[in-house]
């Protein structure tokens, strides 16, 4: 019997689930699929909006630890509903070395079960996905934006 669980419609993605593929435009205008990163660790973090205080802290925390992620063989992807143009400006302003994806209409966020935080804000949820495509860590905290980086890095280093 397999320890891999397919995601179920109407349910938030959980540890042990296979991460569903997606296809979204990046800040460079290129189309990115989750499946482009098969066979490596990947951190997918959903955040409310570009250039807001908490989201900037979170993005800069991933930036400041980016070399640790790449040294561990992991890719980092940030996803929000903001436009490609907004992502371009945000990435340039803060020198973000990783991919930002535009989830227009929050379709991927909904498919992954990322709901609203505090009843009004788009969710801030980080997923760590194994090289086999399985969610190994899920961390959700609207108020502890920089803790997402530490949780993700610890999971990858532990080889969850």
Are 17 and 9 a contacting pair, CB within 8 Å? no
Are 74 and 40 a contacting pair, CB within 8 Å? yes
Among candidate residues 32, 42, 55, 75, the one labeled active-site is 55
107 CB-side CA count, 13 A: 10
Catalytic annotation on 55?
Answer: yes
What is the distance between the alpha carbons of residues 102 and 31, in angstroms, rounded to a whole number? 10
Element holding 122 (H helix, E strand): strand 121-122
Separation of CA 109 from chain center: 10
Residues identified as active-site? 55
């Amino acid at each position: 019997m397999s320890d891999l669980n397919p995601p179920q419609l109407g349910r938030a993605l959980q540890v042990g689930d296979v991460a569903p593929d997606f296809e979204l435009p990046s800040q460079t205008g290129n189309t990115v699929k989750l499946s482009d990163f098969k066979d490596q660790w990947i951190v997918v973090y959903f955040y409310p909006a570009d250039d807001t205080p908490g989201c900037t802290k979170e993005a800069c925390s991933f930036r400041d630890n980016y070399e640790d992620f790449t040294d561990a063989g992991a890719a980092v992807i940030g996803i929000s509903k903001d436009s490609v143009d907004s992502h371009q400006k945000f990435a340039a302003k803060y020198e973000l070395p990783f991919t930002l994806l535009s989830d227009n209409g929050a379709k991927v966020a909904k498919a992954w079960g990322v709901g609203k935080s505090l009843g009004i804000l788009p969710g801030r949820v980080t997923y760590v996905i194994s090289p086999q495509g399985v969610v190994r860590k899920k961390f959700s905290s609207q108020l502890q934006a920089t803790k997402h980086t530490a949780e993700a890095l610890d999971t990858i280093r532990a080889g969850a």
